């Protein structure tokens, strides 16, 4: 194509894209007008509309406005020309020509017809002749690149790995900002196959650093919301990440794709209102994370269902009865056999004990005048005794002693602070701690389990029900008063067929108008509700989750629809996964599939060569991902003295502040300004300085994995400062003389 032809084509494409933006602006104006009109609309009781319906409409329109707003950035990023001569433009959302039978003007990137844009190769053109990619600035197309498909000398592998296009290179070489960006314009073939995978169960995506597994998982969520919106949207999606910094890093991706019904959490956030303030030792975390802890919890609960040391006397009006060990044992056996949670099974225990005590009391009270043959009299006496027992404070205290109502947090805190209770439950003595309520992230699944094992407090439920009933009655009474005022007015029409307010409304209907509505967005409501269930769950850095963590997440998603993202080679947690099947088979046997990503889009080849040597040291069977590019910048190391360390770090920070992009210092806790490698998982920075790698390696059995994580955060530049001799695994680094600035 000549320069003149290219310029003519560029003007033509700019004109088409300008038309798409005009269409977008018109659609946005229409939706905003509808939104304003809906807000101003009155509620008409006669035709059945309601505040709830109007609120739902307002929310739907607000979501549509957001979707149209985010589409403004990079609305159209490519074009496909088919062998049959048809042309399709690909973009963030779909736009249609209403005047021409809704002819598609722009295909949503998730639409099946857009798939060839991501997967077509020279060897497998998918019936396409050409793929065109746009490079835009704002609303202006400033250039494009063409790829002619179907050439015999093209990519014979058909896997798209060799197709490193200009748009991809521009994206991976660009300076990093404050968060992860979407890759909707540069999705590669191996990524697209995972995003669009038709699997309703658990999908495991494994890949080394920089393979894009996180962003692929998020784009898969956007794809599922597009293809299965009715099924997924109303219950929302949960995204689990390793730490708040990571969640902040990724939380813009889905909104940039127009999706908002997503909740972002760490495993420590899964119980609303609970604060994690402490950290377990590795051996304690390992034990708490294993399924062995289930036996401990069950035994600890059973230990609170006790027999009296001596018979407990209950003084009634006409007789004294006693709860002995035999009676309590029968009650305990029946209550446990019911299969109900502990607090709900208390009713069974109470009924058995009540039955025994009333039988004994009737036998004494009715001696000489009452027999079982007089069933009516017998049952009348029993009913009086049951009522008397229910109101007897000593009987209630005995029940509380033998079968107490238990709540998860105080129950677990009391277990941790009592060596006797830990022994009775068969728990490891290492679980003891002085502050039982100093919760760790490993306690969250235990507390969540206890919510199910203990069940609700029936007294709290009863009080809540009474409160709801009182409020409803008060609202109805108020509404009735309003109706009386309306009917009692003296300025009625004289027509005999005049309709009064009561002809249209009842007090209960009017009371509904005064009920406080929950106006929170779905994501906010879901995050605040421990019992909320999601239609899909994404778990990132999933290798760190314990067996108990998985039990919590499976409860949150009864449909077992998961996208699991991780890298077993980067596992740090002592309770984490060593095998995906070990973690998933108990919940989804035969319903989970595995896909891997092999191309590193983040880490330049020069840096990956250094990290690969560390990987080979602690995971020799794992193949490192292949970098898609080289930067031409060699990673370096420098040996410094104690006194030189702080100035060297300050120099790095000062130099990087003068550049565009992001940087970070990673090192042990006592290094000034440094963060731990575990806190940078999933994050990326233009420049990384690793301090004292030998101390990172020495930090327990997972030290090498920590160093591997630290080395693979950089997208452009990597430096290492060390005070002791450089570890053998880092000999690929170019040593720099700190005085002469020359490599040695």
Give SS3 for 689: strand
Q: What pLDDT was estimated at residue 154? A: 47
Among 129-143, 211-225, 361-375, 484-498, the least confident range: 484-498
Cα distances (angstroms) measured from residue 4 to each of 11, 41, 136, 152, 728 = 11, 56, 20, 28, 58
Q: How far from chain centre, in Å, is Cα 14?
A: 40
Q: What pLDDT was estimated at residue 740? A: 40
Taking residues 228-254, what's their average pLDDT? 90
Q: What pLDDT was estimated at residue 161? A: 37
d(CA 355, CA 375): 15
Cα distances (angstroms) measured from residue 331 to each of 399, 526, 547 = 11, 39, 34
| DSSP one-letter string for 145-199 | EEEE---TTS-SS-SSTT---HHHHHHHHSPP-SS----TTT--HHHHHHHT---
The pLDDT of residue 163 is above 60: no
Q: What pLDDT was estimated at residue 741? A: 44
Taking residues 591-606, what's their average pLDDT? 94
H or E element, residue 85: none
What phi, psi does 594 have (nearest 5°)? -120, 135
Query: What are the residues whose beta carbons fall under 8 Å from the beta carbon of 56, sequence distance 6 or more?
Result: none
Structure confidence by residue, pLDDT tens digits, 9-47: 999 999 999 999 999 999 999 999 998 888 887 655 444
d(CA 538, CA 218): 8
Structure confidence by residue, pLDDT tens digits, 339-362: 999 999 999 999 999 999 999 998
d(CA 205, CA 216): 9
The pLDDT of residue 104 is above 70: yes
Structure confidence by residue, pLDDT tens digits, 412-461: 999 999 999 999 999 999 999 999 999 999 999 999 999 999 999 887 66
Among 64-73, 131-140, 526-535, 682-691, the least confident range: 64-73
Mean residue pLDDT across the chain: 88
Q: Which among 566, 591, 562, 525 is positioned nearest to 224, based on CA atoms?
A: 562
Per-residue pLDDT band for 265 (boundaries 50, 70, 90) equals very high
H or E element, residue 697: helix 693-697
Give SS3 for 239: strand
What phi, psi does 27 have (nearest 5°)? -65, -40
Q: Which among 584, 557, 599, 679 is positioned nearest to 242, based on CA atoms?
A: 679
Q: What pLDDT was estimated at residue 504? A: 46
Q: What pLDDT was estimated at residue 46? A: 47
Q: What pLDDT was estimated at residue 171? A: 75
Identify any residues that bridge with 262 across adjacent strands, giving them in sequence order: 237
d(CA 122, CA 239): 36
| DSSP code at position 498 | P
d(CA 141, CA 290): 55
Query: What are the residues whose beta carbons fall under 8 Å from the beta carbon of 655, sequence distance 6 or more?
Result: none
The pLDDT of residue 194 is above 60: yes
Query: What are the residues whose beta carbons fall under 8 Å from the beta carbon of 227, sequence distance 6 or more?
Result: 110
On whether the CB atoms of residues 247 and 547 are closer than 8 A, the answer is: no
Structure confidence by residue, pLDDT tens digits, 405-417: 999 999 999 999 9
Q: What pLDDT was estimated at residue 511? A: 53
The two tokens of residue 240 are: 């689990």
Measured on CA atoms in the order 120, 123, 125, 130, is the torsion positive or negative? positive
85 Rama class: left (phi>0) / alpha (psi -120 to 50) / beta: left
b/e 269-297 (16+ beta carbons within 10 angstroms → b): bbbeebebeeebeeebbbbbbeeebeebb
Per-residue pLDDT band for 473 (boundaries 50, 70, 90) equals low
Query: What are the residues whose beta carbons fall under 8 Å from the beta carbon of 4, sequence distance 6 or more?
Result: none
Give SS3 for 124: coil
> Beta strands 599-600 and 592-597: pairing type?
unpaired
Taking residues 531-536, what's their average pLDDT? 95
Query: What are the residues whose beta carbons fall under 8 Å from the beta carbon of 175, sequence distance 6 or more?
Result: 659, 660, 661, 662, 686
d(CA 53, CA 69): 24
Query: What are the residues whose beta carbons fall under 8 Å from the beta carbon of 353, sequence distance 6 or more?
Result: 323, 327, 328, 331, 399
Measured on CA atoms in the order 279, 282, 283, 287, is the torsion positive or negative? positive
Q: What pLDDT was estimated at residue 408? A: 97
Among 116-125, 193-202, 481-490, 652-661, the least confident range: 481-490
Structure confidence by residue, pLDDT tens digits, 30-40: 999 998 888 88
On whether the CB atoms of residues 584 and 593 are closer than 8 A, the answer is: no
Measured on CA atoms in the order 314, 315, 318, 320, is the torsion positive or negative? positive
Structure confidence by residue, pLDDT tens digits, 705-739: 999 999 999 999 999 999 999 999 998 888 776 54
Q: What pLDDT was estimated at residue 485? A: 61
Q: What pLDDT was estimated at residue 231? A: 84
Query: What are the residues whose beta carbons fall under 8 Å from the beta carbon of 16, sequence distance 6 or more?
Result: 76, 89
Q: What pLDDT was estimated at residue 522? A: 84
On whether the CB atoms of residues 238 and 557 are closer than 8 A, the answer is: yes
Give SS3 for 131: strand
Per-residue pLDDT band for 133 (boundaries 50, 70, 90) equals very high
Q: What pLDDT was estimated at residue 260? A: 82
H or E element, residue 405: none
The two tokens of residue 460 are: 């709290």
On whether the CB atoms of residues 222 and 257 are closer than 8 A, the answer is: yes
């Amino acid at each position: 194509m000549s320069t003149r032809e290219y310029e003519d084509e560029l003007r033509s494409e700019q004109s088409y894209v300008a038309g798409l933006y005009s269409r977008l602006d018109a659609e946005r104006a229409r939706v905003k007008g509808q939104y304003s009109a809906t807000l101003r609309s009155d509620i008409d009781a006669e035709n059945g509309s309601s505040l709830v319906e109007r609120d739902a409409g307002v929310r739907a329109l607000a979501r549509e406005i957001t979707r149209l707003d985010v589409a403004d950035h990079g609305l159209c990023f490519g074009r496909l020309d088919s062998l049959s001569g048809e042309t399709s433009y690909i973009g963030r959302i779909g736009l249609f020509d209403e005047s021409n039978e809704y002819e598609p003007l722009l295909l949503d990137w998730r639409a099946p017809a857009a798939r060839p844009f991501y997967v077509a190769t020279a060897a497998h053109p998918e019936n396409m002749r050409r793929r065109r990619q746009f490079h835009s600035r704002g609303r202006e197309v400033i250039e494009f690149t063409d790829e002619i498909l179907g050439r015999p000398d093209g990519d014979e592998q058909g896997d798209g790995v060799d197709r490193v296009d200009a748009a991809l290179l521009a994206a991976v070489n660009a300076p990093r900002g404050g968060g992860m960006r979407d890759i909707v314009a540069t999705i590669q073939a191996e990524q697209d196959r995972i995003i669009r995978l038709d699997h309703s169960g658990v999908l495991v995506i494994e890949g080394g650093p920089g393979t894009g597994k996180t962003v692929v998982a998020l784009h898969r969520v956007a794809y599922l919301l597009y293809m299965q919106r009715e099924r997924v949207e109303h219950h929302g999606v949960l995204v689990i990440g390793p730490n708040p910094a990571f969640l902040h890093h990724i939380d813009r991706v889905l909104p940039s794709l127009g999706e908002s019904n997503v909740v972002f959490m760490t495993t420590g956030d899964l119980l609303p209102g609970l604060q994690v303030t402490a950290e377990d030792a590795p051996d304690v975390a390992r034990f708490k994370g294993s399924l062995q802890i289930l036996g401990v919890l069950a035994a600890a609960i059973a230990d609170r269902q006790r027999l009296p040391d001596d018979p407990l006397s209950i003084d009634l009006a006409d007789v004294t009865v006693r709860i002995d060990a035999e009676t309590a044992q029968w009650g305990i056996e029946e209550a446990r056999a019911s299969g109900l949670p502990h607090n709900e099974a208390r009713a069974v225990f109470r009924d058995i004990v009540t039955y025994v005590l009333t039988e004994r009391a009737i036998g004494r009270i009715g001696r000489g005048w009452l027999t079982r043959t007089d069933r009516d009299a017998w049952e009348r006496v029993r009913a009086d005794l049951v009522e008397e027992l229910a109101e007897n404070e000593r009987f209630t205290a005995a029940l509380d002693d033998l079968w107490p109502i238990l709540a998860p947090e105080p129950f677990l805190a009391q277990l941790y602070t009592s060596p006797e209770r830990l022994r009775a439950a068969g728990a490891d003595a290492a679980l003891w701690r002085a502050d039982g309520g100093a919760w760790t992230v490993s306690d969250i699944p235990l507390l969540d389990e206890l919510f199910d094992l203990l069940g609700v407090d029936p007294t709290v439920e009863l009080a809540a029900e009474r409160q709801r009933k009182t409020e409803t009655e008060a609202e109805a009474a108020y509404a009735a008063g309003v109706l009386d005022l309306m009917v009692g007015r003296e300025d009625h029409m004289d027509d005999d067929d005049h309709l009064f307010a009561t002809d249209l409304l009842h007090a209960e209907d009017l009371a509904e108008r005064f009920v406080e509505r929950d106006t929170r967005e779905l994501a906010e409501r879901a995050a605040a509700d421990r019992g909320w269930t999601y239609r899909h769950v994404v778990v990132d850095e999933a290798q760190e989750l314990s067996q108990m963590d998985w039990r919590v997440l499976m409860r949150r998603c009864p449909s077992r629809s998961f996208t699991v993202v991780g890298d077993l080679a980067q596992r740090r947690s002592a309770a984490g996964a060593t095998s995906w099947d070990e973690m998933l088979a108990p919940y989804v046997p035969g319903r989970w599939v595995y896909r891997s990503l092999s191309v590193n889009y983040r880490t330049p080849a020069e840096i990956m060569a250094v990290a690969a040597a560390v990987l080979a040291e602690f995971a020799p069977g794992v193949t490192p991902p292949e970098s898609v590019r080289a930067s031409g910048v060699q990673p370096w190391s420098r040996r410094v003295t104690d006194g030189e360390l702080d100035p060297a770090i300050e120099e790095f920070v000062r130099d990087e502040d003068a550049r565009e992009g992001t940087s970070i210092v990673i090192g042990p806790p006592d290094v000034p300004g440094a963060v731990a490698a575990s806190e940078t998982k999933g994050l990326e920075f233009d420049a990384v300085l690793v301090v004292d790698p030998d101390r990172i390696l020495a930090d327990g059995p997972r030290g090498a994995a920590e160093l591997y994580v630290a080395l693979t955060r950089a997208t452009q530049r990597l430096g290492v400062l060390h005070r002791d001799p450089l570890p053998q695994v880092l000999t690929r680094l170019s040593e720099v003389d700190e005085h002469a600035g020359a490599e040695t």
